Structure 1
Amino acid sequence: MEVKRKAEMTTVDGPAEYFTGKATITGQFQREEPSRLTGAIVHFEPGARTAWHKHPLGQTLIVTEGVGWTQVEDGPVLEFHAGDVLLCPADKRHWHGATPHEGMTHVALQEALGGTNVTWMEKVSDEEYLAGPARD
């Protein structure tokens, strides 16, 4: 058993080419083969979000704090909250991040296929993001 201590984890800024706004990534890890699992804790300040991206084998997001939005291409923007688990489908373009007024933190888990766990694409436009979830 190996324990990764919080005090020893590094935190880096989310790269500007893949994130809009302030996001930080903590404790990024990759399990040894034969496992394909990779993960990290990602914190989004209000208004921050990922670019469009996809994962070859999908992604699981465990929301630990705050409120966020997510969208799969051609689908509605969905709101989620601390305690929710998001199951992002395999190889589908999507984005996720905080709402404009509240930050959000999630644990991101995904598997690599052929050495790749994510394919990044263009940024989510302000217009796409600010459309927000549909209101009943």
Structure 2
Amino acid sequence: MSSAFKQIFPQGTVNGNFTQYFIGQSYLCNLAAMDSNVDADVSNVTFEPGCHNHWHKHQHGYQILLATAGQGWYQEAGKPARLLNPGDVVVIHAGVKHWHGATKDSWFSHIAITKGQSEWLEPVAISDYNAL
């Protein structure tokens, strides 16, 4: 990891429970677990360069991404990919097919605020990712 990559939240541990939904290595630090008083998950997700998740949707809820370090991509199905930098915010409504992750040459971290269940879909075509 580059010394220029400065996170404000802990990186966490290898994101082992979701390995099958990621290309490359990601790390997860849960900041506020869902419980009876909070009905959303708040986590810091860190992606190594080139790491990105599969297409997915959030059912019965939403996801908000707060970019905090490095550079990454966010893309909704049928739309161009959006470059994310620290301070960028993405609001993803229920049922919107999308993916997100690091650029090819930068680590990337975002806070993910998620309500509802994730429905994991197919991987992003490597040719589409490489064209970014």
The 1-side partners of 2:12 and 2:101 are apart by: 21
Q: TM-score, normalised by structure 2?
A: 0.83
Task: Give the conservation status (yes or no) of the 8 Å contact 2:12–2:27.
Answer: no
Structural RMSD (CA)? 2.0
CA contact (8 A) 1:12 1:26 kept: no
Q: How does 1:67-82 map to 2 (within 5 A)?
A: 67-82=71-86
The answer as to whether partners of 1:13 and 1:24 remain within 8 angstroms in 2 is: yes
Which of residues 10, 13, 16 in structure 1 aligns to 2:15?
A: 13
Q: Distance in 2 between matches of 1:97 and 1:91?
A: 19
Q: Deviations over 1:14-73 (max 9, x none)?
A: 533110011111126433235421121100011000111111222101111011111101
The separation in 1 between residues aligned to 2:92 and 2:131, in whole angstroms, is 20
The change in CA–CA distance for 1:103 and 1:91 in structure 2 (over 3 A counts) is same
Offset at 1:128? 1.7
Q: Which amino acid aligns with 2:64?
A: T
For the pair shown, which has the larger CA radius of gyration, 1 or 2? 1
What amino acid sits opposite 2:50 in the alignment? G
Determine the C-alpha separation between the residues in 1 that align with 2:121 and 2:100.
13
AA in 2 matched with 1:22: Q
Kindly report structure 1 stretches of 4+ aligned residues shifted beyond 3 Å. none
TM-score by length of 1: 0.80
User: 1:10: Cα distance to partner?
Assistant: 5.4
Q: Distance in 2 between matches of 1:24 and 1:38?
A: 15
Number of residue-to-residue matches in the alignment = 122
Structure 2: runs of 5 or more not aligned = 1-8
* More strand by percentage: 2
**Residue 54 (structure 2) pairs with residue 22 (structure 1):** no
